[in-house]
Amino acid sequence: MTALWPQTSGPSHPLAHLLPALPALIPVLVLLLGLDVYCLVNLVRAKSVRNAPKLAWAIVILCVSAPLGAILYLFFGMDRSGSSGGAVTRPPRAAAPTARVQAAQAVVRTAGLAQLALTATGLTRDYGGTGLFDVDLAVPRGSIYGLVGLNGAGKTTLLSIIAGTRHADRGSVSVAVDRRQIAVCPDVPDFDSWLTAAEVLDLARSLVAPATPPAVRGAAEVTTALRTVGLADAANRRVGGLSRGMLQRLGLACALVGDPELLILDEPMSALDPAGRADMLSLVAAMRGTRTVIFSSHILADVQRVADQVGILRDGRLLYEGSTRELMDTYLTPSWLLRVAGNAEPVAAALAAQSWVTKVERAEPDMLKVQATSIEDGERGIPAVISGCGARQVSCEPAAADLESAFLALTAASETAVMTGRARP
């Protein structure tokens, strides 16, 4: 029987003829997608690009037909000067410590492991040119150790590695106290806003000292910690209503509630007003001898006030480690303010003629500022010169030396050494 209607095949899909070739096209599509992803990652990591802003290049890569957009970026947008994310440039090594600094470090390290709370060797954490590089530390037990450096110097990274919250790429940390006796207070403490200060502290106590019976000693320890940091009146206030400075104090209280042997504080004075900073510094200073404290700060006056040991970081490298006094004695020129009765010109001329005097200048009409090659030369020589001139001394006192001046002198010396090629290989 003949069909009344002719049989015809249905309309074919426009891309049906490409189906047999689809398996061969998959590698090409993956390659194009990978090229776009590579360009986008490079764009995000790059510190700078050429010929257009980053946003414009992102639009080109995503919207222009592949692979044309990616190719345009590779040839006309990618920064090939070495500042892009594809190239890693490490900072230059710091200058080698002076013989005097090396001797001071040797005294601490050879004092015996029993007298060191913490030692670190060759700590390195590379974030692509920034981070830490070959940092050694020796922290005496019972000391207040101030870690000094500008923002971005690597202080938080170093403290995090010591605390165990980050891992180093290489190097080692040895702590001579029980890990359960280490407490950390971050630079920005964060707590659940609906809890009260006392509840936050009791939670911290239960975590760091679970063996303490809460009904017997727990409440007393919470009260003591709150009183220690000046938050006794805020015990029942919810955390969400506390100021930034009060949160900083609460973070310190959480660190203290377990009575740690080693206390690590990251910028503990950063959010406090002058009165709060003074209280916090007094609290830290009172811990000397009873527990070891490592705290970081970029406020040099705070470090000078409480720290007996100091480590100075710059661009991820430790420029100096030793006593605060040793730092100032090494990198500051000793000077005195000398006040005499009557005409000071003969005394100034006599002092300027001495070989151990590096500079004499008039500070006031009857006051001279005298700089010497060493403290001993000045202490012995100034009275002898005054006596030889027959002048009457009213007063002679050392000019105030501060950690900031020593810090600037040390970093300047380190930069000069690097520039002139005297840095460590």
CATH number of the domain where residue 175 is located: 3.40.50.300
With beta carbons less than 8 A apart as the criterion, state whether 203 and 224 touch. Answer: no
**83 domain residue, yes or no:** yes
What is the predicted pLDDT for the residue at 95?
Answer: 42
**Do 164 and 61 fall into the same domain?**
no
Report the 10 Å Cβ neighbour count for 44.
10
Most confident of 84-88, 213-217, 348-352: 348-352
Name beta bridge partners: 309: 145, 323
What residue type is 140 in one-letter code?
P
In a domain, 11, yes or no: no
Residues 6+ apart with CB under 8 A from 241: none
Q: State which of 310, 329, 348 marks the end of a domain.
A: 329
Per-residue model confidence (pLDDT) at position 98: 41
367 shares a domain with 317: no
Among the residue ranges 131-135, 210-214, 238-242, 347-351, the one predicted with the least confidence is: 210-214
Residue 39, pLDDT above cutoff 60: yes
Least confident of 18-27, 68-77, 133-142: 18-27
At 323, is the secondary structure helix, strand, or coil?
strand
- What pLDDT does 111 receive? 45
Tell me: pLDDT of 273 over 60.
Answer: yes
Q: Are residues 206 and 152 in the same domain?
A: yes
Buried-exposed string 342-376: b where 16+ CB fall within 10 A, e elsewhere: eebeebbebbeebeebbebeeeeeeebebbbeeee
In a domain, 226, yes or no: yes
Final residue before a domain boundary, out of 303, 329, 355: 329
pLDDT above 90 covers a percentage of the chain that reads 23
Contact between residue 229 and residue 257 where contact means Cβ atoms under 8 Å apart: no
pLDDT-based confidence at 417, cuts 50/70/90? low
Question: Is 410 part of any domain?
Answer: no
Residues 81 and 113 in one domain: no
Asked if residue 246 has pLDDT above 50, the reply is yes
Domain limits for position 357: 333-400
Residue 87 confidence (pLDDT) above 50:
no
How far is residue 366's CA from residue 95's CA, in Å, rounded to a whole number? 42
Any domain includes 395: yes
Q: Are residues 47 and 157 in the same domain?
A: no
H-helix or E-strand containing 282? helix 274-285
Return the pLDDT at 114: 47
- Mean pLDDT in residue range 218-236: 86
Q: Is 419 exposed, middle or buried (0-12, 13-18, 19+ CB in 10 A)?
A: exposed
Radius of gyration of the chain (CA): 32
Mean pLDDT of 34-55: 77
Question: How much of the chain exceeds pLDDT 70, in percent?
Answer: 79
The verdict on 203 and 339 lying in the same domain is no
Q: State pLDDT tens for residues 169-219.
A: 999 999 988 888 899 988 888 899 999 999 999 888 888 766 655 554 557
pLDDT at 50 over 70: yes
Q: Which residue has the higher pLDDT, 284 or 407?
A: 284
- Has residue 325 got a pLDDT over 80? no
Among 87, 119, 154, the domain-final residue is 87
Q: Are residues 299 and 348 in the same domain?
A: no
**Is 14 a domain residue?**
no
- What value does the mean pLDDT take over residues 392-396? 88
Q: How many domains does the chain have?
A: 3
Residues 105, 198: one domain?
yes
**Spatial strand order in the sheet of 335-341:** 357-364, 367-372, 335-341, 392-398
The answer to whether the bond into 67 is cis (omega within 30° of 0) is: yes
pTM over 0.75: no
| Average confidence (pLDDT) over 73-80 | 74
Do 77 and 112 lie in one domain? The reply is no
Do both 61 and 145 map to the same domain? no
Question: pLDDT per residue over 328-338, tens digit each?
Answer: 777 777 888 89
Residues 6+ apart with CB under 8 A from 64: 72
One domain, residues 242 and 359: no
- Out of 54-63, 77-86, 376-385, the most confident range is 376-385
Task: Say if residue 394 is in the same domain as residue 302.
Answer: no
Residue 92 has pLDDT above 60, yes or no: no
- In whole angstroms, give the CA distance from residue 355 to residue 376: 14
Helices (H), 97-169: 99-109, 155-163
**Is 115 among the domain residues?**
yes
